[in-house]
Amino acid sequence: MPMIDVYAPDNLFPAEADNQLGTELAHAVLRAEGVETPGPFHLSNTAVFIHRLSPQAIHTGSTNSANNVRIQIITPPGALNRDGQRKITKEATEIVARLSGDESLAKRTWVILTEAAEGGWGISGTAFGQEEFGALAAQAAAAAAAAKNQ
């Protein structure tokens, strides 16, 4: 159940790109976590927040109106192994560059991977840690097995 924040100048992506950006990033991070066929629970709880900022709100050492993107992905403890980290960083960068129509944006896209602390992840009033995520995974596996046997 990752959370994704995209911070970009409001004029970087076409106005209609938000839906595609959100969908593609959500599926990319789930794949990086090893969820190849996400069910309704995964899809309903993988959120993407797109923050369109004034171009003057993004600065670098050389400009006061930078054309840069920051993607922060917060995952539950242990959700991404090293290969998953590499995969989501590459794929998220490719997605924003492609949807912006500017392949050079890849050189100005930061992907920040943050792992929530044990128990520092909450939804539905429950602070999730490895025990709670383990129970969810077992529940999902049982549901998938039951569906397969029908």
**What are the residue ranges of helices labelled H in the chain?**
18-32, 40-45, 82-100, 130-148
The domain spans of the chain are 3-148
Radius of gyration of the chain from Cα atoms?
A: 17
Q: What is the pLDDT along the chain (150 residues), one digit of tens a residue?
A: 789 999 999 999 998 899 999 999 999 999 999 998 888 878 888 999 999 999 888 888 887 777 899 999 999 888 899 999 999 999 999 999 999 999 999 999 999 999 988 888 777 788 877 788 778 778 777 877 887 888
Rounded CA-CA distance 90/84 in Å is 10
Alpha-carbon distance 8 to 41, whole Å? 28
- Write down the CATH superfamily of domain 3-148: Macrophage Migration Inhibitory Factor (3.30.429.10)
Instruction: Tally the C-alpha atoms within 13 A of residue 30's C-alpha that lie toward its C-beta.
Output: 21
Nearest alpha-carbon partner for 94 in 118, 115, 69: 69
Cβ proximity of 113 and 89 under 8 Å: yes
- The whole-number pLDDT of residue 80 equals 93
CB-CB contact of 31 with 81 (8 Å): no
- DSSP structure string for 70-87: EEEEEE-TT---HHHHHH
Measured over the CA atoms of residue 24, residue 22, residue 79 and residue 36, the dihedral's sign is negative
Phi, psi of 20 (to 5 degrees): -65, -40
